[in-house]
Amino acid sequence: MNRRILVLLFSFSLSVSFAQNSPVPLRPKLVVGLVVDQMRWDFLYRYSDRYKADGGFKRLLSQGFSNENTLIPYTPTITSCGHTGIYTGSVPAVHGIAGNTWYQRSLGRVVYCTEDKTVKTVGSSSGAGVMSPRNLLVTTIGDELRLATNFRSKVIGIAIKDRGAILPAGHSANGAYWYDNSSGKWITSSYYCDTLPAWLSAYNDKKVVDKFYQQGWNTLYPLNTYVNSAEDFQPYEGKPLGPEVKGFPYDLKPMIGKNYFAIAETPFGNTMALQVAKEAITAEALGKGIFTDMLTVSLSSTDYIGHTFGPNSVETEDCYLRLDADLGDFLNFLDAKVGKGQYLLFLSADHGVAHVPGFLAEHKIPAGIIDNTNTLANLNTDLYKQFGTAQMASNLLNNQVYLNHKLIDSLKLDLEKITRRVVDFMQGQPGIARAISLENLSQVTLPANIKEMVANGYMPDRSGDVQVVYLPQYMDEGATGTTHGLWNPYDAHIPLVWYGWMIKPGKSNQEVHMTDIAPTIAALLRIQMPNGAVGKPIETVTR
């Protein structure tokens, strides 16, 4: 055997030995998930003429990989379901988070998605911390990362909304932190710890909210340059920052020490969340160990602003321009603190949003408002006339009618007959395209993708009896603002951009799903996907 062959064999055996004795597989130092609450896919491009080259969105799109046709595969398309779907790779029918709230038959009451009366608030005296992930029935990708490293990886969740921090982080997270709008402090739950971390207490002591209120909210650029939006101050917009306020500029000084919720309805709520994320990375030394850590961040102010002012408002445009700058700053921070190319980051959304009906009406586009409270009352009146019993329909939640099974059973009434009557009544209401008995969903003639989305959102103990499908651009909303929750593309088409470690620049219009995100992270990290995952790794990202 000649010398060259011996050298090659020695090199090969050495590399195999090193790989076998290496403490961890080759992985990024840190995984960062950024979920922009209520970000429609088109917002990646709608304001791109004003996104900065050194900001967040253009950098992610030019240096990262964008799955341009990412869809949510279930209804209802709302916050808790979206955050859970991203990090579990699953759907409500499996992971159990059937809405922000749902009526749980086994308990006989309405349940909030992260409620947990067995724990207490840590960080304030309010009840805002009586929360945990106990209602979540499956693992998250963070849980699987912790399992894969024998719990030596750290996983932390951060968001203004409790559900945006808790559900992404999972059951075994080292911490989840959210904003208490009654005190203006960031808090947690005794599910995670008994005392607030010193770094978060120190952040609270800075009274950051009051500083934002002191500066107020004016447009980043001259108001007349916001040509991507309708004119400022429309009659169909809400007035969360004061009943007498008529658009920009917003003087927030009167709220100092009085109204700590209003910060969420300004772009500074996102700024604050990213500040807390930076504090966590530094103090918890995320990305500094030999095992991969994970940070989940939800940016909630886009949702509050979008609900109130709508996607065509100057407020929304200004929020995204400011978010672009905040994201650019955050990427710079990650490059400096963790190392460029050493972290894996994705940006996505929990759902999109519909246009404000009043805005569409101005432009002769069909749209409308449905009053669910009035509809439920009329339904119960109709059922009383038909069956002689009051309050047979107990709730209209998540676009589903919940029947009072306990009452119906006690009176030995025919549930199937009552359900058929509910279907007939609801389908006859203005703005409603279809009403479907969820028990008989398989027998319904409906486009396959819509039927699958309804089925993926159905969990018997936590879902209703009849699914309502609205006409496009119809919604349960008041005279101002807008909402989301339906199967339609404006609610279900979301951004998904990958950036950093092992990500090659590019884009694809191949259809993928929100539920593919966690399996893709699992494939990249070479760990098991979450135990309820129904999604698949995205080949254009993992290849």
Q: What is the pLDDT of residue 35?
A: 98
276 with 172, same domain?
Answer: yes
Rounded to 5 degrees, what angle do the CA atoms 498, 324, 345 make? 20
Asked, for residue 492, whether it belongs to a domain, the answer is yes
How far apart CA 77 and CA 512 sit, in angstroms, is 16
CATH number of the CATH domain containing 417: 3.30.1360.150
Considering its fold, how many domains does the chain have in total?
Answer: 2
Residue 171 and residue 138 in contact, taking contact as beta carbons nearer than 8 Å: no
349 with 381, same domain?
Answer: no
203 with 106, same domain?
Answer: yes
Asked, for residue 14, whether it belongs to a domain, the answer is no
539, two tokens: 């080949």
174 with 234, same domain?
Answer: yes
316 with 442, same domain?
Answer: no
Concatenate the DSSP letters of all residues of 423-440 into one string: HHHHHTSTTEEEEEEGGG
Asked, for residue 479, whether it belongs to a domain, the answer is no
Domain hosting residue 527, numbered range: 30-67+75-87+95-361+488-542
* From 77, 79, 149, 302, the catalytic residue: 79
Which residues does 367 contact at the CB level (< 8 Å), separation at least 6?
A: 355, 357, 360, 361, 473, 474
Q: What is the pLDDT of residue 22?
A: 47
Concatenate the DSSP letters of all residues of 160-202 into one string: SSHHHHHHHH-TT-SEEEEEETTTTEEEEETTT-SS--HHHHH
Q: Token pair 């996607």 is at which residue?
A: 311
480 tagged catalytic: no
214 with 160, same domain?
Answer: yes
Q: What is the pLDDT of residue 107?
A: 94
Q: What is the pLDDT of residue 379?
A: 97
How far apart CA 209 and CA 13 sit, in angstroms, is 59
130 with 178, same domain?
Answer: yes
Q: Token pair 């945006």 is at which residue?
A: 164
Q: What is the pLDDT of residue 13?
A: 43
CATH number of the CATH domain containing 53: 3.40.720.10
352 with 435, same domain?
Answer: no
How far apart CA 301 and CA 39 sit, in angstroms, is 11
Residue 494 and residue 39 in contact, taking contact as beta carbons nearer than 8 Å: yes
Q: What is the pLDDT of residue 25?
A: 56
CA atoms within 13 A on the CB side of 232: 17
Last residue of a domain, one of 446, 472, 498: 472
pTM: 0.94
Concatenate the DSSP letters of all residues of 450-486 into one string: HHHHHHHT--TTTS-SEEEEEPTTEES--SS-----S
pLDDT in tens for each of the 543 residues of the chain?
454 544 444 444 434 433 444 444 589 999 999 999 999 999 999 999 999 999 999 999 999 999 999 999 999 999 999 999 999 999 999 999 999 999 999 999 999 999 999 999 999 999 999 999 999 999 999 999 999 999 999 999 999 999 999 999 999 999 999 999 999 999 999 999 999 999 999 999 999 999 999 999 999 999 999 999 999 999 999 998 988 898 999 999 999 999 999 999 999 999 999 999 999 999 999 999 999 999 999 999 999 999 999 999 999 999 999 999 999 999 999 999 999 999 999 999 999 999 999 999 999 999 999 999 999 999 999 999 999 999 999 999 999 999 999 999 999 999 999 999 999 999 999 999 999 999 999 889 999 999 999 999 999 999 999 999 999 999 998 889 999 999 999 999 999 999 999 999 999 999 999 999 999 999 999 999 999 999 999 999 998
